[in-house]
Each structure stands twice: as C-alpha cells, then as structure tokens.
Structure 1
Amino acid sequence: MSGADLVPLPGRRPDRSGIHKRSVPGRVAVGTLGLDGDVQVNRKHHGGEGQAVYAYAQEDAEFWIAEIGRALPPGMFGENLRTTGLDLTGAVLGERWRVGTALLEVTAPRIPCANFARFWDEPQLVRRFTAHGASGAYLRVLVTGEIGAGDVVEIEERPGHEVTVGLAFRAFTTQKYRIAELEPALPHLPDKDRSKVAGRIARRIAPIL
C-alpha cells in the first residue's frame, strides 16, 4: 500500500485530505515519514514520525463491510497497511514489527476525525467508530527499508507492560479516567502526544494539598 490521492471533502474546511490511500504494485520504500508517495496534509493533527505508517486489520474491516453494507477495499480507512491475522487492538504500544526490510514500532491508536466521516459520507461514523473501538495502529519507522503486499509481519520485540492499542484508545476517548494506565508506554507515544499525556497523568495523580 502506498500513494495517497488528495480527495475533495464536502462542507467545511479543510477542503482536501490525503486520507484516500491507493494500492500500488511491487515494493515500496519506507522512510521516517512513511511510505514513498504518501501525503500528510496536516501534520499538526496527523502524521509526523510518530504516525508515519497506519495499519488496519482486514478482520476489523469485515465488521464495517457488514455494518454499512458496502465494499471497503484497502486504503478506505486511510491505512498504509491492511493486515491479516494480527490483533491490532491487542497490540502493545512499543512492540516492534519487521515488515519486509523495514522495522516499525507501534505508537498509538488512531482517533477518528470529521474528515474520516466526510470521506465515507457517513455522518455518524466518528461516534460509531469510537463505540466499536477497533482503531487500527499507528507506527513509527525505526529502520527504513522496503515493503510489499504479502510480506509477513514478524513481531520482533514486545515490551513487558500491558498498555495495548485498545486500552490507549479508550483512555483517549470514552474512558479518560484510565489515562494514568498509559504511563508505562509514554516513551513509545508520538512526540506530539507524549508531553500532553504526561501532563494529564500528572494532574490526575497530583496530591491534594
């Protein structure tokens, strides 16, 4: 998976997005900011080195195919990688994947935004996606290389903590009282999220004077 088409989005700004990924043949170079040909339109909220690659599971896509009754080919979630046989919700923040010749690290869940709903033309998608909780996983590129369709994802290392993508997603969305549970995984979060989360944790555990 590579390449992004800048698609027009109806309604309010922003009026374009790189959410629509398209499949490409052959092998694709992976750099520190993601796959060759990908586009990160708004790095304030998406992208950067901590969210260089986004993976979504075919098994989770099947839920949405049945839920909304339409085809959702690879790229429709804005993902660079459509995986099979991996529990992405159960992936641990900081675990490392060898894919092709690249080494990737799981960093965070994907939080749905209005652009996602506009792209699918499903007004309630953010609410429904959040309720379902299968967010997919953002990844950092630790070692650049090349990947291609059919490559095996090998989990080379997994931290000893139990902070999963699913737990982080809930702590960021519907169960914010759980934010302190993310502390063991702070080093693995995207840089732009780490200090914000650390501050939220500190405020919740600060002693009452």
Structure 2
Amino acid sequence: MPARVRSTNLASPKPEPGGKPYATGIDKRPVPSIEVFAPGPSYGDGPGVVADHVGDEQHHGGAHKAVYAYAREELDHWERELSRGLSDGTFGENLTTEGIDLEALLVNQRIRVGDDVVLEVSVARTPCSTFAGHLGERGWLRRFTERGRCGVYLRVVAPGTVRAGDAVEVLEPPDHDVDMRVAFAAAMGDDEAAARVVAAGCLPRMYHDRLAARLRARG
C-alpha cells in the first residue's frame, strides 16, 4: 500500500478524565483537511494545527510537538487486542497514516505530505494518565509501552494544508541510525537505548540533557 494520510483529525475537547482543571484535546475527530504551521518553541505556544486544542500546556504543544501522527495499522492492532472499535484520531493523532512504518523513521527524518507540506520527525510520545483515562483500559500505560509503537511527533518545516488521501514521501535520512522505536525506549527508561540516543546527539537540547543526566545518575 502506498504511504498516505488516511485521515486528518482535530480535537473535540472534553473534560480531562482524571479531574484536572482543563479540557483535554486527546479525543480527535476526522475532518477533510488541517492547516499546519510552526508554532513557537515552548509547550505553551500551542499546537501546530489551526483550530486544534491543547489542554495540558506544561507537556504538549510547541515546535517539537506541533503535529502528532499515528498509524491506522496500529489502531487495527489495538482493536484486536482490546476487542473494541477505535476510530481514526482516538489516540490523539492529527494524522492517521497508512502504508508507512512511522516508528522506523529516524529522529529528524523529513517527510513530504502532499505537494507542499514538509514535516520532520521530532520526539517520542510518552503515554500519560490522560491517555489512560481517555481509553479506560486497565494497565494501559504498561501495555502501550511494551508494544513500543508510540507514533511520532513532528515539527513543521514547510507549512500548508494536509488533506485526507495525501501521499507521504520519506525524504533523505539524517546521518545517524536512531529511529523512533529507540527514542521511545530511551524515553521510557531503557538505558542502552538512551546511550545510543545521547551518543547520536539527535534530540532537542532539553530532551538530550534529560537523558544524559539520567545516565550520569545511574553511573
């Protein structure tokens, strides 16, 4: 199957399931297209998708988490595992993809979407209590982590309109071999993976420093 955007999704804000004092944007619903742009560097600068919603501004939004993509193939896997339907956007993704192994993309890998939009693989999604509460599945954070398929956060390099059905083209790779599976394992506590990521120097400074400090602390 050619790599493509199956669905473009925007938040349908709802109360944060753990009772936190904000509406969460994790529940996203398909729309015909979305407009993507590069927001400011900080989480509080908001998402890189026009009319999307970020509730937890301490951990979401900003240039390195401008757009989130997740594969339909993985949603299909979890439908089988959980014995329930999962519509496009259920995992909070702005882009539901088909025909591309997102976690095999290298950190800082660029992809072209449609004719004009260029996105860049940024950092791993780390599952949180809002995600667990949204799905309502026992042991969800552990199960999601063990699967090792976190999707990808993306920076916006060239802004524009992304439409359902747009082709996805993987562009020239960066000069390291750290893919999103390794980056996710590192973020979730795997020190061997963290050492690879730190050695590659491929993450934004804050994320790099966090992993380097953890490795130093563990001797």
TM-score by length of 1: 0.88
Conservation of the 8 A alpha-carbon contact between 2:71 and 2:100: yes
| 1:32 counterpart = 2:34 | no
* Match of residue 129 from structure 2: 114
Question: After superposition, where does 1:30-179 map in structure 2 within 5 Å?
Answer: 30-33=36-39, 34-100=48-114, 101-179=116-194
Secondary structure in structure 2 of the residue aligned to 1:151: coil
CA offset digits 1:107-127 (Å, max 9, x no partner): 112111110010111131111
Shift of 1:151: 0.5
Q: Give the gaps of 5 or more residues in structure 2.
A: 1-7, 40-47
Give the letter for the 1:56 counterpart: Y
Change (3 A) 1:183 1:174: closer
Deviant stretches of 4+, over 6 Å: none
Change (3 A) 1:125 1:144: same
CA distance in 1, matches of 2:130, 2:65: 17
Conservation of the 8 A alpha-carbon contact between 1:3 and 1:38: yes
Secondary structure in structure 2 of the residue aligned to 1:181: helix
Percentage of identical aligned residues: 40
CA offset digits 1:59-105 (Å, max 9, x no partner): 11111000001111111000011111111121110100111221100
Aligned length: 203
CA distance in 1, matches of 2:93, 2:177: 25
* Match of residue 5 from structure 1: 12
TM-score by length of 2: 0.85
Q: Give the gaps of 5 or more residues in structure 1.
A: none
Secondary structure in structure 1 of the residue aligned to 2:123: strand
CA distance in 1, matches of 2:210, 2:174: 22
CA distance in 2, matches of 1:171, 1:15: 30
